[in-house]
Each structure stands twice: as structure tokens, then as C-alpha cells.
Amino acid sequence: MPNPDVIGRQGETFVMDVERGKIREFALATGTRNPAYFDERPVAPPTFLTTQLVWQGGEADVLLASGVDFGRSLHAQQEYVFHGPPPRAGTRLTFSSTITDMYEKQGRRGGAMTFIVTTTEFRDDEGRLVAEARNTTVETAAGQDEQ
């Protein structure tokens, strides 16, 4: 099981510029035709913040600290909470991820599953909280040949 003592551990801080072209590419890749994503200063689609993974190499820095075995991990859930409108092109966001919870449940096929919740806070240039992304990663139990 990953180490529950890492709850509260915060990863590195990163900066991401929300770019017009990237919003357009993301909107096209997701199949939307919403004009709000294509105007002169487009608003970012709600799930656009997932692109922060490119900037930080994933939430791997804080997840590695937990001791999670990436060979047995799954992406289980993603949630976004906005504290106002989504950011627009031209916005600079500062963000970092924190391990906010860790718990175990018994799997239906046997063995414990460990759930690790990370929260990424996105702040604007004035330090205001713009959005939060909550990600749940599950580490499945080791198979008999791994024990």
C-alpha cells in the first residue's frame, strides 16, 4: 500500500499560459463546435485544464512520493470545480498538486485497492483561486506472481 503519511504533500509549482491556439486545438480534438471556444479571446473548455499534465509531467511528482506502483494504477475519476468563469486565452495560471486523501477498499475480485486523491489548485496572477481539479488514482492489489 502507498504511504498514507504523504497526505498533505504538495508538488512543484508550475506556470501555464492559456493560449488561444491551444484552446482551439483542444476544442477541435474533443469535437465541440461551441463558438465560445473559437472567438478572438476564447474561454477554455472546462476539461482544458487537463492539459496542465503537459506542463508538469503529470501529477507524478506527488504520486511518486506516495509510493504508488504505476504498473498497477488506474485513473478512476476526474472532477473540476470553478470559482468563477473558466479562464480565457491570455490568462496565466500558477498551479500545483497536493495529495489530499488516501484510503483503501476491498476489491470485488480479491485484494485491497488503494485510492489516492490529488487536488490541483489553479490561481491567476493576483493569487485568486480560479479552479480546482480533483483526480483519483487507484492502485490495484498485487497479483500472486507479484507478491
pLDDT at 144 over 90: no
Cα gap 63→24, rounded to integer Å: 30
Is there a domain that residue 34 lies in?
no
pLDDT at 52 over 80: no
User: Which pLDDT belongs to residue 73?
Assistant: 86
pLDDT at 61 over 60: yes
CATH number of the domain that 83 lies in?
3.10.129.10
Model confidence pLDDT, tens digit, residues 67-126: 788 888 888 899 999 999 999 999 999 998 899 999 999 888 778 899 999 999 999 999
Average pLDDT over residues 33-54: 89
User: Which pLDDT belongs to residue 143?
Assistant: 61
Q: How confident is the model at residue 37 (pLDDT cuts 50, 70, 90)?
A: very high
pLDDT at 3 over 70: yes
User: Which pLDDT belongs to residue 60?
Assistant: 59
Q: 133: left (phi > 0), else alpha (psi -120 to 50), else beta?
A: beta
Is there a domain that residue 44 lies in?
no
Task: State the residue range of the domain holding 58.
Answer: 4-18+54-146
Helix, strand, coil percentages for the chain (3-state, nearest 5): 25, 35, 35
User: Which pLDDT belongs to residue 107?
Assistant: 81
Bridge partners of residue 88, in order along the sequence: 43
Is there a domain that residue 89 lies in?
yes
Instruction: Report the percent of the chain where pLDDT is more than 70.
Output: 88
Is there a domain that residue 128 lies in?
yes
pTM: 0.84
Is there a domain that residue 72 lies in?
yes
Cα gap 74→87, rounded to integer Å: 29
